Amino acid sequence: MKKKKKRMAKVSDPEKNQKPTLRTCMEKRESFNLFVTHLQREFSLENLVASIELYQFAQLLLPLVPLERQKQFQYYNQLGHHKFAPISYIVAQDFTVELKILLFYQKYVSARAHFEVNVPSLIKDEWKSFCETIKSDYDARNLDEIIQSLYVAPDGGDGRSPGQTASDGGIWLMSIFLLLLLLFFYNKSTLAMEHWLNNNTQTTILKKVMMNQTN
């Protein structure tokens, strides 16, 4: 009688009927660090870092938006990486909400962005228009100094100070943008993780960590 060959377990484990997700990856320090290490090697950290920073910024905005708007963030409030991910330097500073919105634009979306990410043109254009209005309220030289501070080692901060609140209209608009951007960056990070799981021969460790397997 012929012996059947033992089939290698796939990353999508049929016995567990469960597939690793970005959510489970980000809930554990070990799997989170493995994924970050992979992205560093691929020079593609931007989307994950942007989603983490915007997540932290969303936490800051939540007390300032209507209750029904807060409920839309509920999905992202359940992400576990906040327990160990570093606090965003922008979020930690005692800047106005509008200025933080501008700094995120300068960091990730503008033509001079050091960590440029690809976002839908509609979002980019609307965000740019919103930021042009914010820029007009700040002295150009002072604004340049603040933007340059993004690329200097941060000097701490607890990341919980909201600074001055923005106008109701601005908060409402940016809460919509945050939802769209969080979804966009989260999905791009998910695709990156799925590509890694499907093409990397060393995913067993990641899988075990994410699925609570010990042997």
199 falls in which pLDDT band (50, 70, 90)? low
Place of tokens 């609307």: 126
**Would you say 61 and 178 are in contact if contact means Cβ atoms under 8 Å apart?**
yes
Mean pLDDT for 187-195 is: 68
Please report whether residue 17 resides in a domain. no
**Would you say 206 and 20 are in contact if contact means Cβ atoms under 8 Å apart?**
yes
Please report whether residue 89 resides in a domain. yes
130 falls in which pLDDT band (50, 70, 90)? confident
Please report whether residue 71 resides in a domain. yes
Q: Which of 42-46, 100-104, 205-209 is the most confident on average?
A: 100-104
Structure confidence by residue, pLDDT tens digits, 45-81:
787 788 788 878 877 777 766 677 667 666 655 665 6
Please report whether residue 14 resides in a domain. no
Q: Using CA atoms, how far apart are residues 164 and 126, in angstroms rounded to an integer?
A: 23
Please report whether residue 52 resides in a domain. yes
Please report whether residue 3 resides in a domain. no
User: Which residues does 40 contact at the CB level (< 8 Å), separation at least 6?
Assistant: none
Indicate the length of the chain as a whole number: 215
Residue 182's domain spans which residues?
22-210
The distance from CA 202 to its chain's CA centroid, rounded to whole angstroms, is 25
pTM: 0.63
Please report whether residue 97 resides in a domain. yes
User: Which residues does 60 contact at the CB level (< 8 Å), separation at least 6?
Assistant: 91, 97, 100, 160, 162
Task: Report residue 34 as tokens.
Answer: 């493995």
Give, in order, the Cα–Cα distances in Å from 72 to each of 168, 175, 189: 17, 9, 20
What total number of domains does the chain contain?
A: 1
How high is the pLDDT of residue 140? 62
Please report whether residue 205 resides in a domain. yes
